[in-house]
Structure 1
Amino acid sequence: MPFSDTHPALSSALIARGYAAPTPVQAAVLAADPTRDLIVSAQTGSGKTVAYGFALAGPLLGEQTRFPRAAAPLALIIAPTRELALQVARELEWLFADAGGVVATCVGGMNVREESRTLSRGAHIVVGTPGRLRDHLERGNLATTDLRAVVLDEADEMLDLGFRDDLEEILDQVPTERRTLLFSATLPKPIQALAKRYQKNAERLQVGSAAEAHGDIDYRAVRVAPNDLEAAVVNVLRYHDSGAAMVFAATREGVRRLHANLVERGFAAVALSGELSQSERTHALQALRDRRARVCVATDVAARGLDLPDLGLVIHAELPHDAEVLQHRSGRTGRAGKKGVCVVLVPYPKRRRAEGMLREANIRATWEDVPSAAAIAAKDDARLIDEIGDAGEDTAAAEALLAQKDAVAITAALLRRYRASLPAPEEMTDSGPPQRGEAEAPRQGFEDVVWFRVNTGRVNNADPRWLLPYLCRRGHLTRKDIGAIRIFDRETRFEIPTPLASRFVAALKRTDDGDPSVIIEAAGNAPEPARRPPSPRRGPPPRR
């Protein structure tokens, strides 16, 4: 059996869960010296909860196959967030169920008196967050005299969140004769200092390189016009149609705005940010877990330690501060061997910054444009075909319908109803000028165009959201007849297919209202406006 090195008390639980072979981090922990402390560097989603469950079995059970009656805890597991602590508790409950293991949780936002009563009844393993565990220690609710093992899970995040003092107070009160396991995605100097102080002769396990950690994530860098970020989120969500998706914004206000925008467009979305109460956060997470919601809009801090089932898509709606945050965000998907997609929306003025961040994170991303409405419709059609199976008990009704209506008409009606049930994709504007050395592929139907200009630009708050309807109204066109739109400081340029150009000009003359503040005229075929030479610096007057 691939898990032959695990404790016998865990074998039946692993078989019942369908475990066939250990993950790399589990194999590394099983092969390590069972008497030594461990420093394990492994990415989130690598199966490390079960891995340290294997490491705890020996010190806690010894030669026995079942735990004695629960009394003072034998193991203490410290996690950075409430969600991660509850997730760890659920994993350990099934892993140690056949051995009679009792797992208790102590986390912020829960009833502290109920937790106190649970601890008084006895538990073999206690899982908690630093602040709440420290609170129970100070109240005298948590006994540490019998502890044989301590686990610090995602230690780097605990220090990032400011829990160093809490951790040190807890670790100073546990027995010195114990096994200490430290798990961390990264090992910065503060983590190394913590390990040096509280571990003895620790064995270090590095599981997977940075490149391997990205292996289950398909990275896409999507060029987008700055004004189209929210529309781009809509189209990316519709194109990929993941079972669950997480969208990251930089601020609470960004989360509020983006969440409202998605709900308005018909997405089942929830928001997570620091301004939510614990009750609101719990309801939002439950909606995600029972599939009532499929999109979570969150800030970096609110999403720490969060593990969602079937999270197949992560969208960086706003660029993260640095490469480490990029990796933490992206690591929400592509977990435990499952594939995931990570989309980084890159406004074209920030392309250099995005490229540097991807380079620093050792990530190779595919650069592409925002999915168009046509591409989304094609994806919808393909998904609908995949969903069509055996008619089953509806066979008779289907045959009767076919006897009355043409098959093509029935299919068209099915497509209309199917598409009507989905949020409508957004019509995207141009994603910006091509980068140096990058060929610009013309959109279909725009291989031969005439460029026009409008005498309004960024300084006048030019925005495609009002420019497009204005141009369509004045020129008697539809949105599909207008190609790339380039907004500069004092003017905006846009392209019209050559066959439509003369009709467009004629319509402009008929709809001219004589307003000199908005002038539309032909601009030749150069998309870039003429650059003004820099004005000479004014120095001090010459001395006489």
Structure 2
Amino acid sequence: MQENAQTNENTTEEPVITFDSLGLKPEILKSVKFAGFTAPSPIQAQAIPVVLAGKDMVGQAHTGTGKTAAFSLPALNNMKLDGSVELLVITPTRELATQVSDEIFKYGRNLGVKTVTVYGGSSYKRQLDLIGRGASVVVATPGRMLDILKKGMLNDFAPSMVVLDEADEMLDMGFLDDINEIFSYLPTNRQTLLFSATMPQPIKTLANRILQEPEFISITKGETTNTDIEQLYYVIDEHERDDAIIRLMDSEETQKSVVFCRTKSEVDRLSNVLSNAGYLANGLHGDMEQRQRETVIKGFKNNSVKVLVATDVAARGIHVNNISHVFNYHIPFDPESYVHRIGRTGRAGTKGKAITLLTPLEFKELQRIKKKVGTSMAHAFVPSKTDLRETTIENIVKNIENQKIYDEAHKVLDKLKEDIDEETIMFKLISMILDKQDIKGPSNIGIPADKIEAILARAGKRNDSRGRGNSRGRGGYRGRSNSSGGNRDRNRSGGGYRGNRSSTKRHRD
């Protein structure tokens, strides 16, 4: 008997959490299924019951984990839909405000929920008019929301739930004073939720002030970066940045990527370089008009833009799915920026890759970021022309194997066979494909293996002398060693590509 009881206990499985089991209304469940969700993410499974119960909450989770659904689904479920604004969501950027508003509308469409986006650069009258027509949800940026409240433009504005989304990004962008002032205009009898990827002290202080006995939910497991993101770094000379970024894009199977730059002028220059290299690239920075920004982001979402070149501030809050790669053209100034940058990929349970370029002089900055965020980065070598050609041949073989055969193909073959034997025909056709795979740039890019070993050894000695043990933070080697680093083509102006490469290789259209 005792043995049987032990067996039964060991085979007992924890109940599987589904959206159906969370107590949401049928109309919301219908929208969830229409959106393609099969099961709640960890933050959704933990947060939805708390929000449904009417409790205040602090949610700490990486970007891309489904935070919008985590608060909006239960918020929509609890709405009275009496024609007043019941939910206010504050986001750091106009782009994120638009995306959150679109998502909430999608989840609430079967309930007839109306959402309005409020941000600077657009007409006050239109935004206020839309709210007055019975909006249940307002998604706003801090500056415009505070302006509207201070001027008394909204009558009887008393949302029963307020959400701060991406609170740490709002802190980084200098909105903390605005946030504090906004809450002075809001009713004290409300439910307040705060979501943040990181929890610096100012965010903790804000949470203590605006929340009442909140529940704390964290799915970060003590790490600051997403484990679904593979992180690599490449050590190069300063003049090789353009060559390196293009060679890596050529070698990686990028679907959609973001390249982060430090300055607006660098964004403009690099987006032109990548466009000339045959990539569907466009830039995004703070000096652009709002209409331009919206056009670029729309293009990035619908795949007419495959490479978004952006500054940190411009890209904050851009949550677009299916971003396969993030490239750091320069290593960021601080660890928090690194976390925010690479969080654009590896979203919603998908795998992503973050690639950072740095020079030997910037190696200490890399060590500082690794220590601060507790992340694991692997060193890799930029593929040589020989490496890339081998990869290209493998891809050609796969493409030929998967190529659909058209009915007209036999006509072409029959005509060719009148003058050429079949083996020669095949060689000529394959050579035509290879002609279009021209690999630009120097043969080898980046610091060769022997010099990298010396850099890592010096870094290890510095760590040992500071009492950090024997770990050198190498994170392992990836790729092939470019040990023959001395034979590089140095005659290219600025390392950039000039001229049209639209006839080059795969994944560019």
Structure having greater relative contact order (Cα 8 Å, sep ≥ 6): 2
Matches within 5 A, 1:69-468: 71-211=83-223, 213-388=225-400, 395-403=406-414, 404=416, 406=422, 407-416=425-434, 418-419=436-437, 424=440, 426-432=442-448, 433-436=451-454, 464-465=490-491
User: 1:395 and 1:145 mapped to 2: Cα distance?
Assistant: 64
Instruction: State the Cα deviation string for residues 182-207 of structure 1 (Å, max 9, x = none).
Output: 10111112111211221111111112
Kept in 2: contact 1:76–1:150 (CA 8 A):
yes
CA separation of 1:416/1:52 partners in 2, compared to 1, >3 Å: closer, same or farther? same
Q: 2:41 aligns with which of 23, 27, 31?
A: 23
The corresponding residue for 2:70 is 51
Identity of aligned residues (%): 29
CA separation of 1:273/1:166 partners in 2, compared to 1, >3 Å: closer, same or farther? same
CA drift of 1:414 comes to: 4.5
Matched letter for residue 18 of structure 2: P
CA separation of 1:261/1:180 partners in 2, compared to 1, >3 Å: closer, same or farther? same
CA drift of 1:230 comes to: 1.3
User: 1:463 and 1:390 mapped to 2: Cα distance?
Assistant: 37
SS in 2 for 1:15: helix
Listed as ranges, the gaps of 5+ residues in structure 2 are: 1-16, 458-476, 496-509
CA separation of 1:35/1:241 partners in 2, compared to 1, >3 Å: closer, same or farther? same
User: 2:482 and 2:263 mapped to 1: Cα distance?
Assistant: 35
User: 1:52 and 1:442 mapped to 2: Cα distance?
Assistant: 48
SS in 2 for 1:302: helix
CA drift of 1:43 comes to: 1.0
Q: TM-score, normalised by structure 2?
A: 0.80
User: 2:446 and 2:170 mapped to 1: Cα distance?
Assistant: 42
User: 1:30 and 1:415 mapped to 2: Cα distance?
Assistant: 53
User: 1:442 and 1:323 mapped to 2: Cα distance?
Assistant: 28
CA separation of 1:383/1:90 partners in 2, compared to 1, >3 Å: closer, same or farther? farther
The corresponding residue for 2:18 is 2
SS in 1 for 2:235: strand
The corresponding residue for 1:42 is 61
User: 1:165 and 1:212 mapped to 2: Cα distance?
Assistant: 26
User: 2:130 and 2:480 mapped to 1: Cα distance?
Assistant: 65
Kept in 1: contact 2:224–2:374 (CA 8 A):
no
Q: TM-score, normalised by structure 1?
A: 0.76
Instruction: State the Cα deviation string for residues 364-396 of structure 1 (Å, max 9, x = none).
Output: 12211112223333333434444456665x532
CA drift of 1:351 comes to: 2.2
Kept in 2: contact 1:10–1:96 (CA 8 A):
yes
User: 2:111 and 2:46 mapped to 1: Cα distance?
Assistant: 23
User: 1:7 and 1:419 mapped to 2: Cα distance?
Assistant: 53
How many equivalent residue pairs? Answer: 445
CA separation of 1:51/1:323 partners in 2, compared to 1, >3 Å: closer, same or farther? same
Kept in 1: contact 2:223–2:373 (CA 8 A):
no
User: 2:267 and 2:403 mapped to 1: Cα distance?
Assistant: 42
CA separation of 1:338/1:312 partners in 2, compared to 1, >3 Å: closer, same or farther? same
Rg larger for: 1
Q: CA RMSD in A?
A: 2.8
CA drift of 1:276 comes to: 1.5
CA separation of 1:441/1:35 partners in 2, compared to 1, >3 Å: closer, same or farther? closer
SS in 2 for 1:32: helix
Matched letter for residue 50 of structure 2: A
Matched letter for residue 431 of structure 1: I
User: 1:430 and 1:325 mapped to 2: Cα distance?
Assistant: 24
CA separation of 1:309/1:141 partners in 2, compared to 1, >3 Å: closer, same or farther? same
CA drift of 1:58 comes to: 4.5
CA drift of 1:105 comes to: 0.9
Instruction: State the Cα deviation string for residues 506-544 of structure 1 (Å, max 9, x = none).
Output: xxxxxxxxxxxxxxxxxxxxxxxxxxxxxxxxxxxxxxx
User: 1:319 and 1:329 mapped to 2: Cα distance?
Assistant: 10
